[in-house]
Amino acid sequence: MAEIHYVTSEGLEKLKDELAAAIARRPVISAAIAEARDKGDLSENAEYDAAREAQGLLEMKIAKLQDTIANARVLDESKIGTDQVQMLNCVKLKNLGNGQIVEYTLVGESEANFLEGKLAVGTPIGKALLGRRKGETVEVKVPSGIIKFEILDITL
């Protein structure tokens, strides 16, 4: 059974745009392969090997994007509440170890971007936060040890 990928409507559009751009690169790579093939002996042609490898990587990327889009489920933001942490919530946390306050928006894997504060629900922190309520303390096991967070606020 295929894995379901939860996305926002903007995230789905971004995936579709990325797929279209990847498909548009196919003729460019095919032309590079043809040009390298015309240069002679393929057994010692590094340019040909590089073009074939690029083609293989592109086809893998296209297949992955097609699978993600085919199994995408768009989340209805109007049905998201703030009584407990769920996908698309913005969660304000206080690190009880160092007092630092951080905010993360929980998103699907394909939309995660730590620099933008978008945290994938599949990460240790994301998993630990799901279903928790404002005021709760959450212990998260991360590679560097255990971090304790207090949930200060849950918003959309």
The pTM of this model reads 0.69
Angle ∠(40,37,50) on CA atoms, nearest 5:
110
Burial class of 7 by CB neighbour count within 10 A (0 to 12, 13 to 18, 19+): buried
* Domain regions of the chain by residue span: 5-74, 77-155
Q: Is the pLDDT reported for residue 23 higher than 90?
A: yes
Token pair of 74 as six digits: 């768009």
Query: Sorting pLDDT into bands at 50, 70 and 90, what band is 42?
Result: low
Which tens digits make up the pLDDT trace of 90-140?
A: 999 999 889 899 999 998 888 888 898 899 988 999 999 988 999 999 999
Domain covering 77-155: architecture: Roll (3.10)
Which CATH code fits 5-74?
Answer: 1.10.287.180
